[in-house]
Structure 1
Amino acid sequence: MRYIRYCINLMTAGVFILLNRIIGIFCPVRKNKAVFISDVRAENGGNLKCVYDAMGEDYERATYFKADRRNWSSFGKFCKLVYDMTTAEVVFLEDYFRYTSYYKVREGQKICQLWHGAGAFKKFGYSRAEGNENIRIHKGYRKYTHVITSSEAINSCYAEAFGVTPDKVRATGVPRTDIFFDEEYLKETKTRLHETYPQLRGKKLILFAPTYRGLRADDASYDFNRIPLDEIYEALHEEYVWAFKWHPALYNNLANGKVRMPDFAKYPDFFLDLSEEREINDILTVTDVMITDYSSVIFDYYLTGGRVVYYPYDFDTYYNGRSFYFDYEEYLFGPVAKTPQELISAIQASAEDESEIRRKFGEKYMSACDGRATERVIQWVFEKNGSEECR
């Protein structure tokens, strides 16, 4: 199966290159045309949707979405993708997209990476080449003309990760964090979630949102034995509801049966799986305690002021493989648990005053996120008036 997939991927790469070059001969770049691309989401969302919606009708907008990059698109959809990429003034991405490796950037074209994770936690891209993982780095990264970050202090991390010069990286802020400054959106979202999930009413929400384990997204898994459901239920069910939000790569493997889903059906009023809620920031608006490990979700969640408990049960193994941009302690603004018992105790304990730690965390990693990130991205990429506000 792997050999068949390899051959098909090789063939589609050749078709992409051929179409891209032919279309480039006969079709000009269309001013103010943008194409929004993701092969890890089924529909428009996240940073892409924020920019898409804000651009309005003055721009020509095209999209290409699919939930799992391992699935193949129809030939017609694939041809439209190549045409839109070849003729767009701007290609907006939010993640790795392999066809940028074969894509010829024409004069007047730009590729803007609206990376899906705020801050700078786990090393990614070319930063991983320094480790001992022995992985192949995506060559398309170096073609990016615009890369956004959540703070000027981490611009160098993104320049290194994508192999681009510092002038191509700018701290515009992260568009999807603008919602945390929109009171009307927050109110509507909280109402929607409480109506959709009545279990949340009258209880505090614990959100369990770890990153996946595995060298690549295709291999995403998790050690579910680290979540003793019966023990957690007995200790916490009177005051809390516990929701799982699996990383999209892991959720895809759970959905297709590659990884076995833990069975929590006997506690339907306590354990919820909110993975189908694609926008995790919506869930963060109703979260009281978030449990994570090495996930960039801590940067978005910081803006809510909520409590965090870190659960890096495999810290030594994970760090020796993936590594981080800064010392792990610099990402902490909550207690750390290594065992299920420590995790439960940390949730039950009274919150400590960590205001100074939070202030330093926000200043370093999230200083550009102030509710106007989407506006600054559009100004910078399309060179509109006001772009000097971006750092």
Structure 2
Amino acid sequence: MHQLALNLAVMKKELASDYVLILRLHPLEQKEVDRTIFRDPFIIDGSKWENVNELLLITDLLITDYSSIPFEFALLKRPMIFFPYDLHHYEKSRGLRENYTDMVPGPIASSTQELVHMIKEHRFDEQKTAQFSEYWNQYSKGQSSRRVVDYLFDCLSK
């Protein structure tokens, strides 16, 4: 069985009175992780949801690693913590398009304890998240359908 990098026991002890953890595993990890962790009411299996956007709407704080999910989540202008537990290995084996530490719009935790501390302190740079969202989502303003229709009508009228 694959061991998660997060210490869920520590997270439960420190956070369960105020939070629940929706854990959405990468599809490649879903079969590798001991599914009994989802018997604990503190941990909800977010992998069951087909549409991740439904989960994002109910998420107050996103914890992620290298996923593309921050790009969508930034539209909600909510805080994010990044937990690249194997950053050096990931950079060497898979590579990253940008410098990870420069790109992410939130604090970077290197351990579960550090992550818990960041959650409890709740110090996030909302302006940095807004700038990240503006940069990466400049064409995702909720007007895409209207713009496509306008473009098509413009083409047809020529």
TM-score (norm 2): 0.85
Deviation (angstroms), 1:379: 4.7
Higher mean displacement: 308-317 or 327-336: 327-336
Cα contact 1:330–1:361 (8 A) shared by 2: no
Matching residue of 2:109? 337
Helix, strand or coil for the counterpart of 2:37? Answer: coil
User: What does 1:1-391 align with in structure 2 at a 5 Å threshold?
Assistant: 223-224=3-4, 226-251=5-30, 254=31, 259-268=32-41, 270-355=42-127, 357-376=128-147, 379=149, 384-386=152-154
Q: CA-to-partner distance for each residue in 1:180-239, whole Å, 9 max, x for gaps?
A: xxxxxxxxxxxxxxxxxxxxxxxxxxxxxxxxxxxxxxxxx9641x12222111100000
Deviation (angstroms), 1:276: 1.4
Indicate how the Cα distance of structure 1 residues 326 and 386 shifts in structure 2: closer, same or farther if over 3 A, else same: farther
Indicate how the Cα distance of structure 1 residues 275 and 375 shifts in structure 2: closer, same or farther if over 3 A, else same: farther
Cα contact 1:290–1:307 (8 A) shared by 2: yes
In the aligned structure 2, how far is the partner of 1:250 from the partner of 1:374? Answer: 35
Matching residue of 1:9? none
In the aligned structure 1, how far is the partner of 2:37 from the partner of 2:60? Answer: 21
Amino acid at match of 2:36: D
Indicate the RMSD between aligned Cα atoms, in angstroms: 2.4
Helix, strand or coil for the counterpart of 1:275? Answer: helix
In the aligned structure 2, how far is the partner of 1:248 from the partner of 1:386? Answer: 42
In the aligned structure 1, how far is the partner of 2:48 from the partner of 2:38? Answer: 17
Deviation (angstroms), 1:288: 0.6
In the aligned structure 1, how far is the partner of 2:43 from the partner of 2:14? Answer: 13
In the aligned structure 1, how far is the partner of 2:71 from the partner of 2:38? Answer: 31
Indicate how the Cα distance of structure 1 residues 283 and 366 shifts in structure 2: closer, same or farther if over 3 A, else same: same
Helix, strand or coil for the counterpart of 1:363? Answer: helix
In the aligned structure 2, how far is the partner of 1:231 from the partner of 1:384? Answer: 55
Deviation (angstroms), 1:323: 1.7
Indicate how the Cα distance of structure 1 residues 274 and 353 shifts in structure 2: closer, same or farther if over 3 A, else same: closer
Helix, strand or coil for the counterpart of 1:352? Answer: coil
Cα contact 2:79–2:124 (8 A) shared by 1: no
Deviation (angstroms), 1:384: 2.0
Helix, strand or coil for the counterpart of 2:152? Answer: coil
Matching residue of 1:154? none
Helix, strand or coil for the counterpart of 1:248? Answer: coil
Deviation (angstroms), 1:329: 2.7
* Unaligned ranges ≥5, structure 2: none
Q: CA-to-partner distance for each residue in 1:213-267, whole Å, 9 max, x for gaps?
A: xxxxxxxx9641x12222111100000011111223433xx2xxxx243422552
In the aligned structure 1, how far is the partner of 2:152 from the partner of 2:20? Answer: 46
* Unaligned ranges ≥5, structure 1: 1-220
Paired residue total? 155
**Which protein shows a greater Rg?**
1
Cα contact 1:293–1:311 (8 A) shared by 2: yes
Amino acid at match of 2:19: Y
Deviation (angstroms), 1:374: 3.9
Cα contact 2:2–2:33 (8 A) shared by 1: no
